[in-house]
Amino acid sequence: MGLLVELGWGGSVSAPDRIVWTDITEYVDVSASGVNITRGASDEFADTQPGTLTMRLDNQNGQFSGPDALPGVPVRAAVTHLPARTGPAPWPLTALADDFDDGRIDPVLWPDCYGGVAEAGGRARIPLTPGAPAGYKSGRSWLLTGSQFAVKLSALPAAGGSSAATLTVTAASATAGTRAGFVYSPITQTLSCVSEVAGTDPASVTVAHSPTAHLWIRIREAAGVLFWETSPDGCSWTVLRSIPTPAWVGTDQVVIEMAGVRTGGAGDYAELDLAGAVVYPRFYGAVGDFPVQWAGLESTVTITATDVFKWLGRDRELKSCLAEEIAATGSAVAYYPLTETSGSSAGDLSGRGAPSLARVQAGSGGTLTFGAADGPAATGEKAPVFTPASSSAGRYLAADLENALGVIEGEMFVEFWFSTSTTGRVIMSLRTAAEDEMFILSLNFAGILQVEFVIYDAVPETQTVPTGNLADGAWHHVLWDTNLFTIYVDGVARLTDFAMLITDTRFLDVGGHKGARLWSGSIAHLSIYNTFFAPLPTLPSHYTAGTTAHAGETADLRIARLARYTGLGPPSIYGTVHDPVAGQGAGGQTALSRMREIETTESARLYAARDRLALDYASRGLRYNPSPAADAFSVEYADLETDGVQLKRDDQKLINTVTASRPDGATQRAVDTASAARYGTYAPPGGDISILKTSDNAVRDAATWLISRYAQPVYELREVPVQAYSHPAYLGILGADIGSHISVTGLPAQAPAAEMRVTVEGYTETIKHRDHRIAFHTSAAITDSVWVLDDPVYAELGTTTRLAY
């Protein structure tokens, strides 16, 4: 077991794909304090907390107190495992594993090295000296079939003025010139995947090298296919190339060669590390501070880093689902929600510098009052009311969008909401300064939507949209896709193949056109998009966002939607039990708070990933009847090699009375009368529950689920501490994460059973030199057992008759 700790100097957790990682493992104190990590929750009722990593670093060279030692520096920690060789050669290629940490070249692994290669600073150093090839080279005693070889490219050579230079990592057959692997060129800064015969490969795949995405490289054979793969962390891999496995892979013992060569120019070197290592991520987050301490002249820095939950907890409050969906497109060049309060002006929320809409008076009289009407149904927001004295006397809004729009060139979308009972009025218009190009969206005197337009100073034309009377006092949504020539009304395409090339619009009027046909009613959420910034396939769904806030979508889709609002990458969704949920709700809460609502509603678990900047979401179905074969690991009590195992059966988790409700639904109560009579009334932690179910029956099922699980206390192991480093199941222990199941066997005679199964809710761990202790916070797996018809285990009356929901 080895430790791997990396800092992303100058990087940002908001741009993980551009972080260049620096290995700082050699500076970590693994003798005294070690690396301390916390993740998850204390039990199944508690929220998962922000995960933390704490460690002390040697700062004698001042490397952790320089100008880059700022709050927010990304950090990640992992444990590496080097597979061992067993038996005589030939060995599977996975066993060619070397961390290059002992300062000498291993003569068994690399018997044929040449050109002055060495181990330096815990890495394999390969000099690229002009005219003098150098390389690490194994013996011919390795099998690639069903196996693999991976290595970390810790430092790459520079071009150095050379006419040709390469770093290669290849598996060579017994035939000269026949090999497969990677070739890096510092001249072109490219990475090539080659399968050479007679020294050439006309079908090689070459990509621009990324120091982040291609930090690790791997050649792998599986089931008749040879793969070239890269990874940013040694854990998650991307296939760059794959071909049917060449015949020589199945017949020849291969040689692994890591070599460098240069023609002319200045010499330097490449450094490779962790050959053959298997990486187990333990933490991903950002450093809060680099506090410097001294003991005499000895300088250290003790850092504490926190995972994604920290900044999600401090994130902005969301606006309505509709507003968030508009913002999340990233393509609005002007966005006017028009949700301001009375006396305000209309500001732009696109972030692209569009000016505010100014009030314009036409004639005399009339009013424009912000915040005077309810907006679209699901937004919970207010909208302005335009009340003109006549069609030509009143107030409207206008702006010069010259700097915001520029030249659109036909790549434009326009959307807005409106409500009126008056026909024959203009909703909005866009025009050029010379008015040689112009379009006006209005209702005709029958209340039907129409587009009036002038193109290239041509004769004005009108196109009617087959909508029926929209002047019915209800809110309606309009989306005009000028790129695909389609107009949607209330989420339905009403007019297609309506071509209009809009090239240079500038002046925007809202609630009229040049002081005429003034709007009477309300307008909200007006947006103008440019597809230059991003494609916009989801815009028609904004009708659903404004009317229902996506009520009825399943919990996994809601979690992914909310995560998108935060700027995080897509969350990993585990399990298949995802019920429909109520609408997203009004603004005023953070995305994390909204995700917590889904977590509670679904009896699911939300937690930060430990290998990337993202969230993981596990449905409650993963806990149903966990199979022993699916356990992360099984451990004998005697092999824990720790104290502190806790066995309890108290009233901490007792629940026998649940009062539950949903938005716009009934409030219901579920009671286990036998439990209440024996123990008294116990409600859930926090009291009555409000959950986002879509039916009263679903609320009742959720309440009954809690009662059936916790009305009767059961014995459970709440702490399972294990000395993982010395345990035979060490790799299985490393794989255990939040929601994993563990079996503890051989329990002392005082336990209610010799074996108990538990579910991991969280853990704390300390990693030191030859010492890795993990204390798992656990709950009883039996509380998640559900009834299965005719099953020999899960159909027992009185024990596993709990119905899943």
Q: What is the mean pLDDT of residues 672-687?
A: 94
pLDDT over 60 at 96, yes or no: yes
The reported pLDDT for the residue numbered 139 is 96
pLDDT at res. 407: 46
Helices (H) and strands (E) in the chain, counts: 10, 50
Do 91-276 and 321-547 show the same overall fold? yes
What gap in Å lies between CA 716 and CA 648, rounded to an integer? 6
Structure tokens at 330: 């990233």
Residue 499 — very low, low, confident or very high, per pLDDT cuts 50/70/90?
A: low
C-beta separation of 757 from 717 below 8 A:
no
Whether 533 shows a pLDDT value over 60: the answer reads no
Identify the pLDDT of residue 102: 92
Cα–Cα distance, 233 to 284 (Å, whole number): 11
Contact, 440 vs 460, CB < 8 A?
no
Whether 279 shows a pLDDT value over 70: the answer reads yes
Domain 321-547: CATH architecture, name and number where available? Sandwich (2.60)
For residue 742, the cross-strand partners are: 633, 758
Phi and psi at residue 733, in whole multiples of 5°?
-65, -40
Beta carbons of 788 and 795 less than 8 angstroms apart: yes
> If DSSP codes are grouped into helix, strand and coil, which group holds residue 507?
strand
Cα–Cα separations (whole angstroms), residue 186 to 156, 200, 211, 213, 267: 8, 20, 12, 16, 12
**pLDDT given at position 788:** 80
User: Between β-strands 657-661 and 689-690, what pairing exists: parallel, antiparallel or unpaired?
Assistant: parallel
pLDDT score of 45 more than 80: yes
Neighbours of 37 (CB within 10 A): 23
91-276 has which CATH code?
Answer: 2.60.120.200
Name 293's bridge partners.
300
> What pLDDT score was predicted for residue 112?
97
Map out the domains of the chain as residue ranges: 2-81+280-306, 91-276, 321-547, 555-622, 624-643+723-805, 650-713
Q: What is the mean pLDDT of residues 763-773?
A: 95
Phi-psi domain of 678 (left: phi exceeds 0; alpha: psi -120 through 50; beta: other): alpha
pLDDT for position 412: 79
Distance of CA 313 to CAs 365, 565, 594, Å? 48, 14, 11
List pLDDT tens digits, range 731-758. Answer: 999 999 999 999 999 999 999 999 999 9
288 pLDDT above the threshold of 50: yes
Q: What are phi and psi of 770, to 5 degrees?
A: 55, 35
Q: What does the pLDDT look like over 564-615, one tens digit per residue? A: 999 888 999 999 999 999 999 888 999 999 999 999 999 999 999 999 989 9
Residue 794 has pLDDT above 80, yes or no: no
Three-state DSSP state, 343: coil
Instruction: Supply the pLDDT for residue 503.
Output: 60
pLDDT score at 311: 84
* pLDDT tier for residue 529 given thresholds of 50, 70 and 90: confident
* pLDDT per residue as tens digits for the range 369-389: 999 999 999 999 999 999 999
Round the average pLDDT of the chain to a whole number and report it.
Answer: 92
Element (H, E) at 686: none
Please give the C-alpha separations between residue 123 and each of 275, 283, 710, 768, in angstroms, as whole numbers. Answer: 10, 23, 54, 21
- CA dist., res. 236 & res. 17, Å (int): 13
Indicate whether 759 pLDDT > 60. yes
**From start to end of 434-551, where are the E strands?**
438-443, 449-454, 461-464, 476-481, 486-489, 492-496, 507-510, 521-530
Tokens at 434, concatenated: 């010379």
CB atoms within 10 A of CB 577: 18
291 pLDDT exceeds 60?
Answer: yes
What is the DSSP code string of 776-800? EEEEEGGGG----TT-TTTT-TTTS
User: Does the pLDDT at position 454 exceed 90?
Assistant: no
Q: In the 8-state DSSP scheme, what is residue 38? A: E
**How confident is the model at residue 457, as a pLDDT?**
66
For residue 580, say if its preceding peptide bond is cis, omega within 30 degrees of 0.
no
Report residue 339 as tokens: 């949700």
**Percent of the chain beyond pLDDT 70?**
96
Judging by beta carbons within 10 Å of its beta carbon (0-12, 13-18, 19+), is residue 793 exposed, middle or buried? exposed
What is 2-81+280-306's CATH number, 2.40.10, 1.20.140, 2.10.25, 3.30.2020?
Answer: 2.40.10
Predicted confidence (pLDDT) at residue 409 exceeds the cutoff of 60: no
800 has pLDDT over 70: no
